[in-house]
Amino acid sequence: MALETYKQKRHFDTTPEPRPHLGKAHRRPIFVVQEHHASRLHYDFRLEADGVLKSWAVPKQPSLNPALKRLAVQVEDHPLEYANFSGEIPAGQYGAGLVHIWDKGTYENMLARKPHPQSIAEGIHAGHLEVQLHGRKLKGNFALIRMTGRAHKASWLLIKMQDAEARPNPVAAESTTTAATPQPVRPRLAVPHARAASQPPATLAFTHQDKVMFPEVGITKGEILRFYERIAPRLLPHLRDRPMTVERFPEGLTGTEAPHFWQKNIPAYYPAWIPRATLPTEDGQLVTYALVNDTATLLYLVNQNTLTFHPWLSRIQHLDQPDFVIFDLDPGAATFADAVVVAKQLHAILEDEKVASYLKTSGKTGLHIVVPWRRAEGYDAARDWAMDMALRVVAALPDGATVERHKDRRQQKVYVDVLQNARGHHAVPPYVLRAVPQATVSTPLTWTELTSTLEPRRYNLRTIFRRLARQKTDPAASLLAF
Ligand code: MN
């Protein structure tokens, strides 16, 4: 029973891994850490309990430094025999790649000695374990603490506790680790901000600056680099500490067939000074996102032919809580003037609710209305609230607005999209360039600028700075004022 998932994932006529038998308990329970060169190198941390190995995948090498909190994603129980397994899981099989034993030894369950003793199973259920490891590399007390977030029950932190075995000053190689983690539940731990392993270089080398990226308007990569450098003071506050997906166009907007890809996971060759955060996806895969916290990172990614940055709606300090809600008005088969009418209606409803909002062009065909989300509740509550507001717009403008998800059922109505208000989704921030032939920029507007003659293409890479120079206040600043 306990090994059902383990069994289902594997073909035992192909993989050399042990078959799913319950094992006989050792006199002293054992732990093992296996270095696993799967599609992504990780360390499998396993503790013997109840005849199986309770298991966590740890993307970074476990450490004796209490300051280095390691993300540990709980995975399926493994058979006890797995503690002796090293070898190659063949290509095409689950977890394909080399496995070797990185550390092994016995352990003690520290919570079994407490006034209210807890077994390992009880500790896992409660989201808190403390074990004393007697390995060759890992020694002394370690805590495993489950992080908050309903959707991410599998995410834990593996932390070296302070004791005689702790090595607070890691060797140089270890100090290159970044720690970026959502907030754990208990005990309350100070979670460090994500930081880069080293300082960015004083100067960056940019390549192919003459390459034409927007052929219709003749904009080169050099011009895009200068745009992003100049817009950085406005843009960076909207990007800081948010896991980032970037939209890269290696050949620019060369026709409809332009090579184009969305990148979440950063490539291994990116320099160590790029700040990053490793997070589990819904299915337990780990993704290392860049955090665009400084101009050097911004420009490094632009030099990689990034045209648009798409940050999360939450920051790494509280990944389950968005700090804004976005209403994406997509005209579809309707006109831009129709979207203006819908935006005005939504604005009136928000004013009625005494909720501050700001407006911006999406940079493509629509409008974005953004509301700071200051409540303690997370994404589900934010999206539900946004849907309530959207439904009020639809009630007021039944022929003009819709929340219908299916494009072909929207008729000539403007789609009020609130579904991007979800963990792991991203939004277009103010002041980014969009990958459209006119090189438009998603531009914050005042509500008085929202008229039926509004022409979003007027706001583009070549006009934006003139506008900003005239502006006394930034309409998007309210989003940052908390
Ligand atoms: Mn593994």
Mean pLDDT over residues 23-50, rounded?
93
Q: What's the pLDDT score for residue 194?
A: 55
First to last CA, the chain: 50
Left if phi > 0, otherwise alpha if psi is -120 to 50, otherwise beta: which for 127? left
Ligand 1 centroid to Cα of residue 72, in Å, is: 11
Q: Which amino acid is at 82?
A: Y
Model confidence band, residue 109 (pLDDT cutoffs 50, 70, 90): very high
Share of the chain above pLDDT 70, in %: 92
With a cut of 90, say whether residue 233 has pLDDT above it: yes
Q: What's the 82 CA to ligand 1 centre distance in angstroms?
A: 11
Give pLDDT tens digits for 385-444: 999 999 999 999 999 999 999 999 999 999 999 999 999 999 999 999 999 999 999 999
Quote the CA–CA distance of 95 and 88 in Å, as a whole number.
10
> pLDDT at position 283, please?
75
Task: Tell me how far the alpha carbon of residue 4 lies from the centroid of ligand 1, in angstroms.
Answer: 17
Residue 103 confidence (pLDDT): 94
- Distance in Å, CA 33 to ligand 1 centroid: 10
Q: What is the pLDDT of residue 383?
A: 96
Regarding predicted confidence, which is higher, 253 or 91? 253
DSSP 441: B
Extract the tokens encoding 370.
């953004």
Specify the DSSP element, H or E, that contains 98.
strand 97-109
Q: How far, in Å, from the CA of 139 to the mean position of ligand 1?
A: 22
What distance in angstroms lies between residue 78's CA and the mean position of ligand 1's atoms?
Answer: 10
Which 3 state secondary structure label does DSSP give 245?
strand
Q: What are phi and psi of 162, to 5 degrees?
A: -70, 120
CATH fold of the domain at 318-479? DNA primase, PRIM domain (3.90.920)
Query: What's the length of the chain?
Result: 482
Q: Is the pLDDT of residue 32 over 60?
A: yes
User: In whole angstroms, what is the distance from residue 423 CA to residue 313 CA?
Assistant: 8
User: By mean pLDDT, which of 37-41, 210-214, 248-252 is the weakest?
Assistant: 37-41
Does position 188 have pLDDT exceeding 60, yes or no? no
Interstrand relation of 261-263 and 243-248 (parallel, antiparallel or unpaired): antiparallel
Q: 300: which 2 tokens?
A: 């490094």
Using the mean position of ligand 1's atoms as its centre, give its distance from the Cα of residue 44 in Å: 5
pLDDT tens digits, one per residue of 301-310: 999 999 999 9
Residues 6+ apart with CB under 8 A from 264: 243, 245, 287, 289
Q: Look at residue 350 in the predicted model and tell me its pLDDT.
A: 96
Lowest mean pLDDT among 4-13, 86-95, 327-336: 86-95
**Dist. CA 101 → ligand 1 center (Å):** 12
Give distance in angstroms: CA of 145 to centre of ligand 1: 20
From the CA of 97, how far away is ligand 1's center (Å)?
Answer: 9
CA of 5 to the centre of ligand 1 (A): 14
Is the pLDDT assigned to residue 372 strictly greater than 60?
yes
Nearest to 69 by CA among 16, 133, 130, 143: 143
pLDDT at 225: 97
User: Among candidates 246, 279, 102, 267, which has minimal Cα distance to 179?
Assistant: 279
Give distance in angstroms: CA of 267 to centre of ligand 1: 20
Q: Rounded to the nearest whole angstrom, what is the distance from the C-alpha of residue 372 to the centroid of ligand 1? A: 40
Element (DSSP H or E) covering residue 244: strand 243-248
Question: β-pairing, 97-109 with 30-37?
Answer: antiparallel
Contact (CB, 8 A) for 185 and 145: yes
Going from the Cα of 109 to the center of ligand 1, the distance in angstroms, rounded, reads 23
99: CA distance to ligand 1 center in Å?
8
**Ligand 1 center to 417 CA (angstroms):** 38
- CA 437 – CA 216 distance, rounded (Å): 6
Cα-to-centroid distance, 76 and ligand 1 (Å)? 10
Place of tokens 């583009």: 460
- Cα gap 155→176, rounded to integer Å: 22
CA of 241 to the centre of ligand 1 (A): 28
**Which tokens sit at 221?**
């990569």
Predicted confidence at residue 201, as pLDDT, reads 82
The predicted pLDDT at position 173 comes to: 32
Global pTM value: 0.62
Rounded Cα distance between 476 and 357, Å, is 9
Laid out side by side, the sheet with 358-361 consists of 401-402, 414-417, 324-330, 367-372, 358-361, 444-445
What span, in angstroms and rounded, lies between the C-alpha atoms of 274 and 303?
Answer: 14
Exposure class string for 136-169: b at 16+ Cβ within 10 A, else e = eebbbbbbbbbbbbeebebbbbbbbeeeebbeee
For residues 169-195, give the mean pLDDT.
37
- Percent of the chain whose pLDDT exceeds 90: 71
* pLDDT level of residue 176 (50, 70, 90 thresholds): very low
Distance 189 CA to ligand 1 centre (A): 27
Q: Residue 201 CB: number of other CB atoms within 10 A?
A: 11
Mean pLDDT of the chain: 89
Q: Which residues contact 447 (CB under 8 A, 6 or more apart)?
A: 347, 359
SS3 content of the chain, % helix, strand, coil (to 5): 25, 30, 50
Closest by CA to 48, choosing from 116, 113, 129, 114, is: 129
Centre of ligand 1 from the C-alpha of residue 42, in Å: 7
- CA–centroid distance, residue 190 to ligand 1 (Å): 28
Compute, in angstroms, the gap from residue 114 CA to the centroid of ligand 1: 32
Q: Tell me, what's the pLDDT at 241?
A: 93
CA of 250 to the centre of ligand 1 (A): 34
Q: pLDDT tens digits for 315-348?
A: 998 999 999 999 999 999 999 999 999 999 999 9
Among the residue ranges 51-55, 187-191, 322-326, 359-363, the one predicted with the least confidence is: 187-191
Which band of pLDDT confidence, cut at 50, 70 and 90, is reported for residue 192? very low
pLDDT bin (cut points 50, 70, 90) of residue 151 is low
With beta carbons less than 8 A apart as the criterion, state whether 114 and 54 touch: no
Can you give the pLDDT at residue 76?
A: 94
Copy the structure tokens of residue 31: 């732990």
pLDDT tens digits along 44-71 = 999 999 999 999 999 999 999 988 889 9
DSSP-derived secondary structure for 58-96: ESS---S-TT-PEEEEEEEEEEGGGGG--EEEPTTSTT-
Output the six-digit token pair for 21. Answer: 């038998």
Task: Look at residue 294 and tell me whether its pLDDT is greater than 70.
Answer: yes
149: pLDDT confidence band, cut at 50, 70 and 90?
low
Using the mean position of ligand 1's atoms as its centre, give its distance from the Cα of residue 56 in Å. Answer: 8
Give the integer Cα–Cα distance in Å for 414 and 367: 10
Cα 39 to ligand 1 centroid, rounded to whole Å? 10
Token pair of 396, please? 């007021």
Q: Where are the domains of the chain?
A: 4-176, 212-311, 318-479
Cis status, amide bond into 372, omega within 30 of 0: no
Within a 10 A sphere around the Cβ of 206, how many other Cβ atoms?
Answer: 13
Higher pLDDT: 175 or 170? It is 170
In this structure, are strands 414-417 and 401-402 parallel, antiparallel, or unpaired? parallel
